[in-house]
Structure 1
């Protein structure tokens, strides 16, 4: 089963201000005003882009049947080797059920947690000790993909899970997507955040959790449209996750959604450029006087991809923000701190470079290096992250279009303010079927 998708995505940077403290009535008034303005902006963008999209050709790209992040057989999916859909009896609905099995064996020199996904931002004295050997297949996936068409609207319902959750199952994606012949799309459900440029994600054996990369799946409402043959725009409202805002006598609140904009430019098949911006309106309850307090974070991200031919791909990406830890790889769970008087958010920056080379029809290799850096949070007495580093090199052997075998080495390190530096090396081998 195949469908047309706007593969080139874009992002817009959005200026932000840093919030202070206020009483609950003032906060609610400001938040309401912000919400109304965001909704008005969404309507204006929809009206403007709808008029322009009528004269724009649909971007010519193919949507992978399944999520290609961490998928070693993504090339076979992209070429349509796995159609696999059936027509449900008595309906106009086509359904595909699929996935893959990925088995991994790894050795860590210091890390103790039995987790196939490596996150240097989570390193601590409790889990960096003597190392481990691990073997499993939790990164295997199962998906259901249903599609139908009503008049000129293509509808897609997609559900995907793996087995990394505490109870055995972990929901990766679950969304409904509507698209029209103008190339416009409306998506609602859980999917990769719009702050990410999916084309920039390097290829890793399990998942490439490289420092300095936005990387999160969120509930969202997203609208995407082509503006021209080479330009595409997307905007979204996304689910807030504010557990990284800490402090004394306070409770973080998840009242207001994120606003994310994305702009992508593809002047030719060789170059791809994108810019993304996120506004994060956080708030928390001060338990000493039962007041509500704002703390506005933001994040900007830019990516350049150069593909001179099918055998080579170079990616450069950088980000800058404040109070965005939950949305960044390499960060920890301390994005800001309230000491009872004032709130300080961490200023954050980072980025990565990646290079992919196809040696021949059977072998390919990837190299990537990324770094995250956070400023000290002045009023936070607890250890919190200063920097993290993540580098990997891997080689994959394509047995056939359904089987890939890979080896990978990962170096990862984290340094804290208030003491503590942790380093781990991971050596792993894996095989993916289907």
Structure 2
């Protein structure tokens, strides 16, 4: 049989092409095996880095790279999603002690330089195609209270609102209340890989109305960049780091509570010392139908912070307050205030918080007297005066172990009303709290507390002793 030459040639050409393809496939397999080896080595290195990160460093390094996604902490997750693991996100831990109280006032405060209370940026995720990271948090809360009689504000414990003996609403039997008004919604935006400590912060709760539940109330909304902070937030005269750990959402009568429009600048003198100056809205309260404000409030503070010992803040405020009397005449007076507060760490298990305030025309920023026209009033002769005010607060915190802690708190607030004001106007109040807080999990807290309150008017009439027993539960999604 004769085989055509063309058929043989075609077969030879096909065999040659198959051999060439086989060689190329062998080369490709070799390249794939090399790539697999590189990925496995990279994976082992990344797992080792993340395992090492679980033990916090003595001083967290500054962020050097821009994160793309949240840090993945699980080793199994790392192995499954090696291709999507972002660079590790770490910030610089603030020198001030973060006490993680039940009613956390510290998280909303700005920090100097590029310091943060949470250097691991727990719960933050990246915003695509930007250097920004964001945390959207919710803190559902419920409080159940029982009062020995009517307090004047059933959902809150405010000595300034206690009825006095002889008032129509004084007395009565015990009263139970349950509310979720302390629930908070929070948005925290940062750019830790960029200079300037850029931050936008938002927070609200639902204490906008004492007579109705779940009424929106703005607590903070501000922006911060290179030490400049503008928006609606805490006055530079307030010290949010000394608020004691109470189950009572309202907090002690003697602390300063001042939320207002502000423009503030913080200068870091060094790692332990910083100072803040603020120009703020003159949000004052006077015993008159019409308030007069020609100047903003000027607030200043100087802080010393240390990781071991705690912190100390000295604050001052200068202001002009004014009012128009019934005849149409304008009156003005000078207001001032000094505020000293600290948190002192007494070892691993104990700490002490203290606050002392004195001034004239500053009662409207006291946590209790802010519910009254307590900055200025008219004397019997028709003159207008800034009302003298002072307060003291002391608290002790003891951690029995990682899950249980106890707090004892005492506060006294004192106001000297003008002679032309109501004879029963507020003179002073006392506040006491004792609690046990159970940390059920990293983000779930349950507290039991006994509260004591007392108010006396300038006439000598008083509220008699007021008692509240409270249980509060808070859950935070990402803290």
Q: What TM-score does the superposition give when structure 1 sets the normalisation length?
A: 0.76
Deviations 1:131-182 (A, max 9, x none): 4211121101111122247963332111111111137211111111113xxx
Confirm or deny that 1:379 pairs with 2:420. yes
- Separation in 2, partners of 1:400, 1:281: 48
RMSD: 3.0
- Would you say the 8 A contact 1:110–1:132 is kept in 2? yes
- Separation in 2, partners of 1:221, 1:346: 26
- Would you say the 8 A contact 2:377–2:417 is kept in 1? no
Q: Partner of 1:120 in structure 2?
A: 159
- Would you say the 8 A contact 1:72–1:432 is kept in 2? no
Confirm or deny that 1:241 pairs with 2:283. yes
Q: Partner of 1:70 in structure 2?
A: 103
Please identify, of 355-364 and 311-320, the stretch whose mean Cα deviation from structure 2 is larger.
Answer: 311-320
- Would you say the 8 A contact 1:215–1:328 is kept in 2? yes
1:158 to 183, 197, 201: 201
Q: Partner of 2:240 in structure 1?
A: 198
Confirm or deny that 1:318 pairs with 2:362. no
- Separation in 1, partners of 2:443, 2:456: 41
Confirm or deny that 1:334 pairs with 2:374. yes
- Separation in 1, partners of 2:282, 2:106: 33
Confirm or deny that 1:303 pairs with 2:308. no
2:223 to 151, 166, 176: 176
Q: Partner of 1:415 in structure 2?
A: 456
- Separation in 2, partners of 1:354, 1:64: 15
Q: Partner of 1:426 in structure 2?
A: 468
Q: SS of 1:204's equivalent?
A: coil
- Would you say the 8 A contact 2:95–2:305 is kept in 1? no
- Would you say the 8 A contact 2:398–2:407 is kept in 1? yes
Q: Which has the higher strand share?
A: 1
Deviations 1:108-137 (A, max 9, x none): 112345544322122234664324211121
**Superposition pairs for residues 217-236 of structure 1, below 5 Å?**
217-236=259-278
- Would you say the 8 A contact 2:97–2:307 is kept in 1? no
Confirm or deny that 1:370 pairs with 2:417. no
Say if 1:73 and 1:430 are closer, same or farther in 2 by CA, change over 3 A.
Answer: farther
How far has the Cα of 1:228 moved from its partner? Answer: 2.5
Q: Partner of 1:51 in structure 2?
A: none
How far has the Cα of 1:202 moved from its partner? Answer: 0.4
Q: Which has the higher contact order (CA 8 A, sep 6+)?
A: 1
- Separation in 2, partners of 1:329, 1:128: 23
Say if 1:205 and 1:197 are closer, same or farther in 2 by CA, change over 3 A.
Answer: same
How far has the Cα of 1:193 moved from its partner? Answer: 1.7
How far has the Cα of 1:380 moved from its partner? Answer: 2.1
Q: Which has the higher helix share?
A: 2
- Separation in 2, partners of 1:73, 1:336: 30
- Would you say the 8 A contact 1:275–1:303 is kept in 2? yes
How far has the Cα of 1:188 moved from its partner? Answer: 0.7
Say if 1:73 and 1:220 are closer, same or farther in 2 by CA, change over 3 A.
Answer: closer
Please identify, of 410-419 and 84-93, the stretch whose mean Cα deviation from structure 2 is larger.
Answer: 84-93
Q: Partner of 1:354 in structure 2?
A: 395
Please identify, of 328-337 and 342-351, the stretch whose mean Cα deviation from structure 2 is larger.
Answer: 328-337
Deviations 1:241-260 (A, max 9, x none): 22x2114xx51124421111
- Separation in 2, partners of 1:154, 1:212: 32
